[in-house]
Amino acid sequence: MSDTPTRISIDKSTPGYWRVTFNNPPINAIDDRTYDEFYDLVEEIDADDALKVVTFESANPDFFIAHYSTAGPRSRFGAPRWIEPATKLAHSNVLSIAVIRGRARGGGSEFTLACDIRFASKEKAIFGQPEVGTGLIPGGGALQRLPILVGRSRAMEIILGSDDFDAETAERYGWINRAIPEAHLDEFVANFVRRILSFDKQALSTCKATINQHGLPDPAQLQATQDTFFTTFGWPGAAERMPKLRARGIGTAGEFELNLGREVGNL
């Protein structure tokens, strides 16, 4: 990671534990630079033999990660490399936990899906895959990971409906592990992390590797879907909707982004 201002900061003060925070104002959109920093972060994670657990949080109380944004600078790789580091994180010896407050939609939801565990604020977390409502498709793993977690029919409801889901519904569907009252979320996560840190890494990593033999999507399918996603910006439906989205306030802090799931049904 460079010394220049970044979208990702890391607190390494606790041995065996990294606390990662996303901060990309105004709405924590995930852009190509964020993907590049995440790629570098996963390389660091994989190289630290003492690391046991990483949590991912947001500096923005309203947005965990709003969604993918094309407004940022292009990736140094050309097309941003998301599938490769996300797959590497899933197969690493480190437990990854998303701690979700605010909106996690589109690429933000797909980021949480790529983590091993998802804990969310019952009052503040909102989830959605709004891509179909904007003329696109989910390109970062939702089409593969959601059916594994929630089943085919609920994945259809989530993706084709493009609406928002509260944390309690997401928990009931299996989208997240738990919806925890906001007042207790930090304490719950801290206690869970302490438990993980107290256990032997060989046992932790062996169990994770064995569990991974079941329930992870095919990386080739993930990559093929992401490749298709980048072509969808040229589809007629997206070309028709994008000007409307920009006019309504996509990418800016305001009512449209706060209520995106509802608003994409009214374009």
Cβ pair 65, 191 in contact under 8 A: no
Instruction: Estimate to the nearest angstrom the gap between the alpha carbon of 238 and the chain centroid.
Output: 22
Residue pointed to by tokens 């990736």: 75
How far is 127 from 109, CA to CA, in rounded Å? 6
> What is the distance of C-alpha 53 from the center of its chain?
17
Q: What is the dihedral of CA 79, 83, 85, 87, to 10 degrees?
A: -170
pLDDT value for 37? 96
> Could you tell me the mean pLDDT of each successive run of 10 residues in the chain, 267 residues long?
73 98 96 95 97 98 93 84 96 98 98 98 98 97 98 98 98 98 98 98 98 94 96 95 94 95 92
Scan for tokens 């989830």, then name that residue: 127
Distance between CA atoms of 22 and 56, rounded to whole angstroms? 7
d(CA 249, CA 256): 6
Please give the model's pTM, rounded to 2 decimal places: 0.95
Q: Fill in the amino acid letter for 93.
A: N
Q: Return the pLDDT at 4.
A: 55
Q: In this structure, what token pair is assigned to residue 151?
A: 């089943």
Give the residue carrying structure tokens 């079941």.
Answer: 214
**What is the per-residue burial (b if ≥16 Cβ within 10 Å, else e) of 16-53?**
bbbbbbbebeebbbbbbbbbbbbbebbeebbeeeebbb
Q: Which residues pair with 30 in a beta bridge?
A: 68
pLDDT, residue 55, reads 98
Question: What phi, psi does 180 have (nearest 5°)?
Answer: -115, 135
What pLDDT, on a 0 to 100 scale, did the predictor assign at position 5? 61
Backbone angles phi, psi at 233, to 5 degrees: -65, -20
Element (H, E) at 122: strand 117-128
